[in-house]
């Protein structure tokens, strides 16, 4: 300790020891780095690391962003406390003298009553929904196949197109509403409704049961309402399934996925001598489903007329007249062409709508009725139009010269699939009450036409081996249409007076809901009403139009193989039919979710079913083209010369439309 004191004394006075410590004691500021001049802010390098650059902004009061709007109120300004003695004196005076000094004669300036007058808040309702869908498939698959080294004889198949057009025009007689054109104007919709009403009314008033065409199937049923299932002009109890009637497409069927196996599989298939030809097996289908709710409501009030129209028109026409040489054997599973017109009219009640009375009456509790309402207004006419049109035009006219080759061969020149699929699901807003200031038009129309031309020719050269089997039938034409209305037909009632009071209250923006409306039995159990008021007309239109046309006229010639061994024990199977022409359409229309529709005017209902079927035995023959001789000369084995070389020009043309063109690709086939 004494040594430390001596050292300290020497350090202070002499300065020879611990000079660094002494300097540290004597300094008045940091020796390393400058001090921050602004201690309230972070250094720049630290501030740059912050996500919020404005970290030092001043705080503000919290603003939740809720706008408050005071409703109806009634209040009194109370007396101030010092006025209580005056009231006491006035009461003492009133008790002492027989003079009426009640508040009628005397009013204290502090006791005032204020009432705010306000209007009904009107909201905007859903607008019109107009959907037009047009689907068109045009397919030309006219193939030419020659398995020999013989000449190519061109076949003119334009007659098939001409005949299918004629068939379509014949079938159009059974679909009077198929000519309606897509529209979205209110005047045009009214014109369509009037045209349909006049046609149905004429058939109903004159008891029309047939159009008098003399066709194989000619059936008409008209009335105010139609219920039930009708198949080919007769009422039925059970609807057939399409899968049960679909033809077997043979080698044209889509490949199935192999079954799963835990072990490796091996199959030995010995080489054979067979030929399997599929020139038909085409599938042409239009599929449309339309579910329309528009606006959902349990109670509707119509100040004008209510007009509903349901119509289904169906027609099929086909020709399946084949010319088969006697050398061919008919397939055992061959069947005639089947054609069906299937129409279904159904009406049901929304589940729960039949129990409209308040359940509180059953348990003895007093019923609850609404005390408030929310009103939406749509000015003018409102339309919900759903219009679907589907067209199929398919040409598959194949010309083939076939022969065996000593191997297993599969030829697929048909097997086309043309599909149009349209699904529409319209979900609208839900209301407890919808008031229509004008008229209501509820129209559902389905038109279907199926056309098939399947006249085939099968020939065999004189030296061709016998034993070949052929299947030229098994075709299917299928028209299936269904209209399903939700809402009972006995829901219509006379318009009550309080509905007019309700309309006046809405027009005058009266916030008070009419008491009679609130006590409507349909609204028992509601605490409030959601009301939609349409000042004009309401159009609810659903139309589906389907046309399927298939021309499948095949010409097959069997020739003998040059190698005689290839003709021995050969298996030949030819399929020129197995086509399916299908139209499927369904409309589900939700007219009401309740059991009451008030109508001030008249209620008009029209329904009609037309089913027609025509079976043609067309005898048209394919004509050789003008270039047939030139083509044969061009393909002849003789060497070409300068003299005839200029005539060996083949122009396949550039018009590849479905009606009259022939594809330049003459081999659109799959050979395996």
- Residue 253, Cβ neighbours under 10 Å: how many? 11
CB 334 within 8 A of CB 190: no
* pLDDT above 90 (res 84): no
Of 177 and 297, more confident = 177
Evaluate whether 444 touches 309 at the Cβ level (below 8 Å): yes
pLDDT (mean) for 314-323: 93
Q: What is the mean pLDDT of the chain?
A: 79
Residue with tokens 């080759």: 405
Give the highest mean pLDDT range of 91-95, 256-260, 301-305, 463-467. 301-305
Q: What is the pLDDT of residues 180-214, one digit of tens each?
A: 998 878 889 999 999 999 999 999 999 999 998 88
CA pair distance 366, 38, nearest whole angstrom: 76
Kindly tell me if the per-residue pLDDT of 110 is higher than 90: no
- pLDDT category at 363 given cuts 50, 70, 90 is low
In this model, does residue 592 exceed pLDDT 90?
no
| 381-390, 505-514, 642-651: range with lowest mean pLDDT | 642-651
The predicted-structure confidence for 537-559, as pLDDT tens digits, reads as follows 999 999 999 999 999 999 999 88
Token output for 181: 């054109």
Residue by residue, DSSP assigns 524-560 as TT-SEEEEEEESS-EEEEEEEEEEEEEE---EEEE--
DSSP-based helix, strand, coil % in the chain, nearest 5:
20, 35, 45
Q: What angle do CA 174, 180, 186 make, to 5 degrees?
A: 145
> Parallel, antiparallel, or unpaired for β 228-231 and 234-236?
antiparallel
246-274 average pLDDT score: 77
Joined together, the tokens standing for residue 660 give 């009259």
The pLDDT value given to residue 370: 86
The pLDDT value given to residue 151: 78
Structure tokens at 460: 């065999």
Mean of the pLDDT values across residues 592-613? 92
315-352 in b/e form (b: 16+ CB < 10 A) is bbbbbbebebbebbeebeeeeebebbbbbbbebebbee
Judged on CB neighbours under 10 Å (0-12, 13-18, 19+), 512 is exposed
What per-residue confidence (pLDDT) applies to 260?
A: 76
Instruction: Indicate the domain borders of the chain.
Output: 2-47, 74-118, 133-218+277-373+385-494+542-671
Phi/psi for 189 (5° steps) reads: -65, -40
Q: Is 15 left (phi over 0), alpha (psi -120 to 50) or beta?
A: left
Asked if 364 and 519 touch (Cβ cutoff 8 Å), the reply is no
Cα distance between residue 173 and residue 392, in whole Å: 19
Q: What are phi and psi of 162, to 5 degrees?
A: -65, -40
pLDDT above 60: residue 124? yes
**Residue entry with tokens 């808040």:** 121
Provide the phi-psi class of 525: left if phi over 0, else alpha when psi is between -120 and 50, else beta: left
pLDDT the model gives residue 494: 93
* C-beta of residue 234 within 8 angstroms of C-beta of residue 342: no
Top-confidence range, 36-50, 82-96, 311-325: 311-325
The tokens for 25 are: 């004691």
pLDDT digits (tens, 9 = 90+) for 425-437: 887 788 999 999 9
More confident residue, 307 or 44: 307
- Residue 7: other Cβ atoms inside 10 A: 13
What secondary structure, in 3-state letters, does 625-672 show? CCCHHHHHHHCCCCCCCHHHHCCCCCCCCCCCCCCCCCCCCCCCCEEC
Under a CB-based contact definition with an 8 Å cutoff, are residues 555 and 398 in contact? yes
Closest CA relative to residue 506, chosen from 379, 599, 591, 592: 379
Question: Could you tell me which of 427, 412, 438 has the C-alpha nearest to residue 186?
Answer: 438
Compute the average pLDDT of residues 35-56.
64
CB 430, CB 422: distance < 8 Å: no
Give me the mean pLDDT over the 86-106 stretch: 55
Strands 469-471 and 329-330: parallel
Judged against a pLDDT cut of 60, whether residue 6 lies above it is answered with yes
Whole-angstrom Cα distance, residue 663 to residue 279?
17
Which of 132-146, 173-187, 311-325, 647-661 is predicted with the least confidence, judged by mean pLDDT? 647-661
CA distance linking residue 320 with residue 551, whole number of Å? 11
Q: Name the residue with higher pLDDT: 465 or 169.
A: 169
Mention every residue, 6+ apart, whose C-beta is less than 8 A from residue 8: none
- Would you say the pTM of this structure is higher than 0.85? no
Distance set, CA 624 to CA 154, 159, 243, 629 (Å): 7, 11, 40, 9
For the residues 334-345, what does the mean pLDDT come to?
92
> What band does 256 get if pLDDT is binned at 50, 70 and 90?
confident
- Short-list 84, 32, 12, 479, CA closest to 288: 479
| Beta strands 323-324 and 623-624, pairing class | unpaired
**Cβ neighbourhood burial of 148 (10 Å; 0-12, 13-18, 19+):** middle
- C-alpha to C-alpha distance for 377 and 531, rounded to whole angstroms: 9
What pLDDT sits at residue 635? 35
Is the pLDDT assigned to residue 174 strictly greater than 80? yes
Q: Are 607 and 345 in contact (CB under 8 A)?
A: yes
Looking at residue 249, the DSSP 8-state letter turns out to be -
| pLDDT tens digits, one per residue of 606-659 | 999 999 999 988 777 766 544 444 333 333 344 433 333 333 332 333 333 333
**Higher pLDDT, residue 17 or 379:** 379
pLDDT value of residue 452: 96
Distance CA(119)–CA(413), nearest Å, equals 74
Query: DSSP readout, 430-498?
Result: EEEEEEESS-EEEEEEEEEEEEEE---EEEE-TTPPS--EEE----EEEEEEEEEEES-TT-EEEPPHH
pLDDT score recorded for residue 229: 96
Q: How much is the CA Rg of the chain, to the nearest whole Å? A: 44
Residue of higher predicted confidence among 27 and 403: 403
- Please give the Cα distance from 194 to 199 (Å, whole number): 9
Quick one: which of 348, 300, 537, 546 has its CA closest to 445?
546
Mean pLDDT, range 377-398, rounded to an integer = 93
């Amino acid at each position: 300790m004494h040594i430390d004191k001596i050292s300290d004394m020497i350090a202070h006075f002499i300065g020879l020891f611990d000079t660094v410590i002494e300097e540290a004691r004597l300094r008045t500021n940091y020796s390393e780095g400058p001090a921050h001049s602004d201690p309230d802010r972070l250094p720049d390098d630290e501030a740059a690391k912050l996500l919020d650059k404005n970290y030092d902004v001043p705080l503000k009061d919290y603003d939740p962003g809720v706008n408050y709007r005071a409703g109806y109120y009634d209040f009194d300004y109370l007396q101030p406390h010092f006025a209580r003695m005056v009231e006491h004196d006035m009461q003492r005076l009133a008790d002492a003298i027989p003079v009426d000094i009640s508040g009628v004669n005397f009013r204290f300036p502090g006791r005032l009553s204020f009432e705010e007058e306000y209007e009904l808040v009107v909201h905007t309702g859903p607008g019109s929904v107009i959907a037009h869908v047009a689907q068109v498939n045009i397919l030309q698959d006219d193939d030419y196949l020659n398995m020999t080294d013989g000449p190519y004889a061109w076949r003119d198949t334009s007659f098939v197109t001409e005949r299918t057009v004629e068939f379509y025009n014949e079938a159009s007689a059974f679909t009077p509403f198929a000519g309606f054109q897509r529209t979205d104007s209110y005047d045009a919709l009214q014109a369509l409704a009037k045209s349909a009403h006049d046609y149905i009314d004429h058939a109903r008033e004159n008891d029309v049961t047939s159009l008098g065409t003399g066709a194989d199937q000619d059936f008409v049923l008209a009335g105010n309402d139609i219920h039930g299932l009708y198949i080919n002009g007769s009422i039925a109890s059970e609807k057939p399934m399409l899968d049960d009637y679909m033809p077997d497409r043979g080698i044209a069927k889509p490949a199935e996925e192999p079954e799963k196996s835990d072990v490796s599989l091996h199959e030995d298939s010995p080489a054979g001598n067979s030929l399997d030809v599929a020139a038909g097996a085409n599938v042409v289908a239009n599929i449309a489903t339309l579910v329309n709710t528009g606006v959902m409501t349990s109670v509707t009030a119509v100040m004008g007329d209510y007009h509903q129209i349901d119509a289904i028109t169906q027609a099929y026409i086909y020709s399946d007249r084949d010319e088969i040489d006697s050398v061919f054997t008919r397939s055992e599973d061959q069947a005639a062409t089947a054609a069906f017109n299937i129409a279904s009219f159904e009406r049901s009640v929304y589940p729960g709508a039949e129990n409209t009375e308040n359940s509180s009456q059953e348990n003895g509790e007093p019923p609850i009725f609404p005390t408030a309402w929310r009103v939406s207004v749509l000015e003018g006419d409102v339309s919900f139009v759903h219009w679907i049109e589907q067209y199929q035009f398919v040409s598959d006219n194949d010309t083939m010269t076939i022969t065996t080759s000593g191997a297993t061969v599969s030829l697929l020149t048909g097997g086309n699939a043309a599909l149009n699929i349209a699904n529409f699901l319209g979900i609208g807003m839900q209301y407890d009450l919808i008031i229509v200031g004008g008229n209501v038009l509820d129209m559902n129309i389905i038109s279907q036409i199926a056309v098939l031309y399947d006249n085939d020719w099968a020939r065999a050269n004189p030296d061709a081996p016998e034993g070949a089997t052929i299947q030229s039938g098994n075709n299917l034409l299928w028209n299936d249409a269904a209209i399903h209305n939700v809402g009972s037909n006995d829901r219509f009632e006379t318009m009550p007076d309080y509905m007019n009071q309700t309309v006046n209250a809405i027009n005058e923006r009266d916030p008070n809901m009419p008491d009679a409306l609130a006590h409507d039995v349909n609204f028992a159990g509601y605490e409030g009403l959601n009301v939609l008021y349409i000042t004009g007309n309401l159009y609810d239109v659903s139309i589906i139009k389907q046309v399927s046309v298939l021309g499948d006229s095949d010409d097959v010639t069997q020739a003998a193989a040059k190698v005689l061994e290839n003709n021995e024990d050969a298996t030949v199977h030819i399929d020129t039919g197995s086509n399916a022409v299908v139209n499927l359409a369904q409309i589900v229309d939700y007219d009401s979710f309740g059991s009451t529709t008030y109508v001030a005017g008249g209620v008009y209902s029209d329904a009609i079913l037309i089913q027609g079927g025509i079976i043609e035995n067309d005898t048209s023959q394919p004509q050789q083209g003008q270039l047939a001789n030139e083509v044969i000369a061009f393909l002849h084995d003789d060497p070409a010369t300068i003299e005839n070389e200029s005539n060996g020009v083949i122009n396949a043309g550039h018009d590849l439309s479905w009606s009259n063109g022939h594809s330049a690709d003459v081999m659109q086939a799959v050979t395996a």
